[in-house]
Amino acid sequence: MLLQTDKTERSSQVERKHRDSFGMFDGYDSCSEDTSSSSSSDESEEEVAPLPSSLPIIKNNGQVYTYPDGKSGMATCEMCGMVGVRDAFYSKTKRFCSVSCSRSYSSNSKKASILARLQGKPPTKKAKVLQKQPLVAKLAAYAQYQATLQNQAKTKAAVPVEGFSWGNYINSNSFTAAPVTCFKHAPMGTCWGDIAEGVRVEVPNTDCSLPTKVFWIAGIVKLAGYNALLRYEGFENDSSLDFWCNICGSDIHPVGWCATSGKPLVPPRSIQHKYTNWKAFLVKRLTGAKTLPPDFSQKVSESMQYPFKTSMRVEVVDKTHLCRTRVAVVDSVVGGRLRLVYEESEDKTDDFWCHMYSPLIHHIGWSRSIGHRFKRSDITKKQDGHFDAPPHLFTKVKEVDAAGEWFKEGMKLEAIDPLNLSAICVATIRKVLADGYLMIGIDGSEAADGSDWFCYHATSPSIFPVGFCEINMIELTPPRGYAKLPFKWFDYLRETDSIAAPVKLFNKEVPNHGFHVGMKLEAVDLMEPRLVCVATVTRIIHRLLRIHFDGWEDEYDQWVDCESPDLYPVGWCQLTGYQLQPPAPQSSRDSQSSSSKQKKKAKSQQYKGHKKMTSLQLKEELLDGEEYSFLQGTSDQESNGSASYYIKQEP
């Protein structure tokens, strides 16, 4: 009984000591023997076990700022080791917490003070005064949030892609990836900040024989989307231990995280012999350097919260009849991408993938409100648990003024064919709907009942005025069966007794997108929208991007808008847990190339076209359709201006 009481008291003391020391920034004083010995494995799996005394261990004791740029945030007293708000520190340099510490440092008593801290003696009362309760509360919340992230990381493993590594692929070919800032819809797309080469982070030290998890500081050598090539501090020009990781991963932290979390910084075993004073080395290396924002992990988590939930009902394009919509139910949400199951599908196999910002999905009642065709469901009442998605969750289109000069039925234009996204075709406005929506048909290949018409908004970047392809040196796909080649718009308009839609009605805005030819990214194959593939930007025409799927023939290329929600940074699949389709192997390319030569194509009305193989199977079906090669001239517009966007229409 006495033994149990004694054990209970010790446990209570340990718990109280842990709580008190956390309030006093235990992480920065964790070199003390008392702190190390009291952090038992019974309290937490993440506690660090005692390490050999001969090993050089750095724990940010008094010399490394939480924010290495020294401009804001926290500071550590170089005398007593106390952490406090930088603005409250003494002197211009903010090196000391008080006048006494400054004088003590000057009188050569620093060594005695450090020794006292190593022996477990608490900091002075003066230093404690600097700790403001709101800051302690924020750090406590941050620590709790980090623990939550670690638990999530344990339960959700990244989806592996056998045999493919973005890092190796980029390194071996000297590729460049599109920056995260190009993708406003992707996680961190609008708050990526100044993350670039040279930024320092704290990461697990894999070059270590210790049984516990330890960390070290590394610098970003190269960025590729979310992925960063890192090099441990101290390796200088030695790239032997460079490694790739996802910068948004749960194991990547800003400099100073180990100090606040009580984690040890241990130099890699390969370079331990290089320096005798690692503390001085870090101070020198980190002075003036940049690191991640302290709330970076929180921002990543917040940017990966999606408003769409399972069981929500939406209206989505009918993939078998593009001219109409159907009701579908959200079955799953992955990285903002929705797997929608058509409501009438009993076995849940009749599905459709799209992003939550896709122009193909709408709130319940949208079709009726604008006069769009709609397939009524045989299900007369909602199934239990299903509910309509709120209208405010859907992407808002730009308001237009249709009162004056506006699009009219029969007007001609050029449009990306949704059944063959590699082609821009001669098209006609078949019906003008409400709120700026238009029903478009591809000349020469329309069904008699209009079942292959498709809906584009007047501001859509997928429709263009007559002459757009000619001025930008893109081969325009003429109407099927049209014999008078080469195709001339002036002759065609006269022959069909038609007029061209006025240029001023089209969307001429060109955002500063940041894409360049040759950049790598991950892109949805819109002809098989469940697949996200390794891809490359091969042409840029103002805001229009030509996306090539690595390892596949050019006939599978797709024209996509620069702000399409179906484009993602390198590393998006790993971050969200989505399956990435690697470049097609040579055997698959040979197979699909020979198949395409043997088969004569005829367009299907289903919203699937050129199909690619998944990483497991080569699909034999290929979309029937004409093949057209693009002119590779020098007129690709990589500038973001709108100069010479259109040619003057002929009378």
Residue where the block lists tokens 């992480």: 27
Residues with Cβ within 8 Å of residue 475, at least 6 apart in sequence: 469, 628, 629, 630, 631
Task: Please provide the DSSP assignment of 303-337 as one string.
Answer: HT--S--TTEEEEEEETTEEEEEEEEEEEEEETTE
Mean pLDDT, range 436-450, rounded to an integer: 91
Mean pLDDT, range 66-85, rounded to an integer: 55
Number of H helices, E strands in the chain: 15, 26
User: Per residue in 14-57, pLDDT tens?
Assistant: 444 333 322 222 333 333 333 333 333 333 344 444 444 444 44
Task: Please provide the DSSP assignment of 159-206 as one string.
Answer: PP-TT--HHHHHHHHT-EE--GGG-TTSTTTT--TT--TT-EEEEE--
Mean pLDDT, range 459-463, rounded to an integer: 96
Angle, CA of 352, 354 and 358, to the nearest 5°:
135
User: Per residue in 524-552, pLDDT tens?
Assistant: 999 999 999 999 999 999 999 999 999 99
Report the C-alpha gap between 107 and 47 in whole angstroms.
Answer: 37
Q: pLDDT class for 589, splitting at 50, 70, 90?
A: low
pLDDT greater than 80 at residue 313: yes
**pLDDT higher for 76 or 599?**
76
Give the per-residue pLDDT at 303: 95
Residues with Cβ within 8 Å of residue 32, at least 6 apart in sequence: 117, 118, 119, 120, 121
What is the maximal distance between C-alpha atoms in the chain? Answer: 105
Residues with Cβ within 8 Å of residue 332, at least 6 apart in sequence: 310, 338, 339
- Determine the straight-line distance between the first and last CA of the chain, rounded to whole angstroms: 103
* The token pair that represents 626 in the structure block: 């004409």
Give the per-residue pLDDT at 585: 81
Beta strands at 312-318 and 387-388: parallel, antiparallel or unpaired: parallel
Quote the mean pLDDT of the chain.
77
User: Per residue in 52-68, pLDDT tens?
Assistant: 444 444 444 443 333 33
The answer to whether residues 86 and 77 touch, using CB atoms and an 8 Å cutoff, is no
User: Per residue in 107-133, pLDDT tens?
Assistant: 444 344 433 433 334 444 333 333 333
The answer to whether residues 282 and 301 touch, using CB atoms and an 8 Å cutoff, is no
Percentage, residues of the chain above pLDDT 90: 56
Burial class (CB in 10 A: 0-12, 13-18, 19+), 14: middle
Q: Is the peptide bond before 187 cis (omega within 30 degrees of 0)?
A: no
**pLDDT higher for 326 or 615?**
326
* The token pair that represents 239 in the structure block: 């790239």
Q: pLDDT class for 154, splitting at 50, 70, 90?
A: very low
Give the per-residue pLDDT at 376: 86
Residue whose C-alpha is closest to residue 556's, from 547, 566, 569: 547
Report the C-alpha gap between 320 and 607 in whole angstroms.
Answer: 6
Other CB atoms within 10 Å distance of the CB of residue 503: 18
Angle, CA of 460, 461 and 464, to the nearest 5°:
100
List b or e across 438-470, with b for residues whose CB sees 16 or more CB atoms inside 10 angstroms.
bbbbbbebbeeeeebbbbbbbebbbbbbbbbbb
Q: pLDDT class for 79, splitting at 50, 70, 90?
A: low
The answer to whether residues 179 and 279 touch, using CB atoms and an 8 Å cutoff, is no
Mean pLDDT, range 608-631, rounded to an integer: 37
Report the C-alpha gap between 348 and 341 in whole angstroms.
Answer: 6
Residues with Cβ within 8 Å of residue 396, at least 6 apart in sequence: none
Residue where the block lists tokens 């239990």: 384
Report the C-alpha gap between 250 and 451 in whole angstroms.
Answer: 48
pLDDT greater than 80 at residue 142: no
Beta strands at 580-581 and 532-541: parallel, antiparallel or unpaired: parallel
Report the C-alpha gap between 431 and 410 in whole angstroms.
Answer: 8
User: Per residue in 339-367, pLDDT tens?
Assistant: 999 998 888 899 999 999 999 999 999 99
Other CB atoms within 10 Å distance of the CB of residue 231: 19
- Cα within 13 Å of Cα(261), Cβ side: 27
Q: pLDDT class for 380, splitting at 50, 70, 90?
A: low
Mean pLDDT, range 247-256, rounded to an integer: 94
The answer to whether residues 270 and 294 touch, using CB atoms and an 8 Å cutoff, is no
pTM beyond 0.85:
no
The answer to whether residues 596 and 622 touch, using CB atoms and an 8 Å cutoff, is yes
